[in-house]
Amino acid sequence: MKNIVIRSAEEKDLPAINDILNYAIEHTNYNLNEHTRSFKEAQQWYAEHMAEDYPVIVAEKEGIVVGWASLSWFRRFSGYRTTAEVSVYVSHQYRHKGIGTMLVTELERMAKKYHILIAVITDNNTASLSLHSRCGFIPMCTFRELAYKNGEYVSVTFMTKKLN
């Protein structure tokens, strides 16, 4: 897609980041939270990412944030310090236009200190499964009916990519 700029997120981007996330929480089973994230929680999430040197990036089109991605701790045990979890969200109006690929590609470029990237994807999110597959992630395991949201059980697939 033309005119997309990928850049590090700034605190001023938090309302748009949070709106995109909350849309996914409210309208899909892709994010398994059942309650939207408050702006205060978004500020805390962002501050933790900055303090712990986990990147948060945005895709911007003509000054509007249309997607975002981040790396986060996979689990908070020291043995997992070389693994980072990937999160990618694109505004519903801009999906299927290559923005997710641009975001994942930039995250990988920024992830030099990690050995493994992991994506945790609900099986009904076929777009994300395809995106990560195109970006070289390999399905490692699927947990059948691991979660429950919106009146249905949801299976979750873990996909990983070895970086170094």
Residue-wise pLDDT tens digits, 3-54:
999 999 999 999 999 999 999 999 999 999 999 999 999 999 999 999 999 9
Question: Region 126-147: what's the mean pLDDT?
Answer: 96
Structure confidence at residue 2 (pLDDT):
79
| 126 burial via Cβ count (<10 Å: 0-12, 13-18, 19+) | exposed
Tokens of 20: 């995109």
What is the pLDDT, as a whole number, of residue 63?
Answer: 94
User: Edge-to-edge, what's the strand order for the sheet holding 56-61?
Assistant: 4-8, 56-61, 64-73, 83-90, 116-122, 152-162, 138-149
List the CATH code of the domain at 4-115: 3.40.630.30
Question: pLDDT for 57-111, tens place per residue?
Answer: 999 999 999 999 999 999 999 999 999 999 999 999 999 999 999 999 999 999 9
Q: What is the pLDDT of residue 1?
A: 64
CA geometry: angle 9, 99, 45, nearest 5 deg: 30
pTM of the model: 0.95
> Based on C-alpha coordinates, what's the Rg of the chain?
15
Measured CA to CA, the distance from residue 1 to residue 102 in angstroms comes to 9
pLDDT at 126 over 90: yes
Contact call for residues 69 and 162 (beta carbons, < 8 A): no
C-alpha distances out from residue 121 to 35, 86, 133, Å: 18, 10, 12
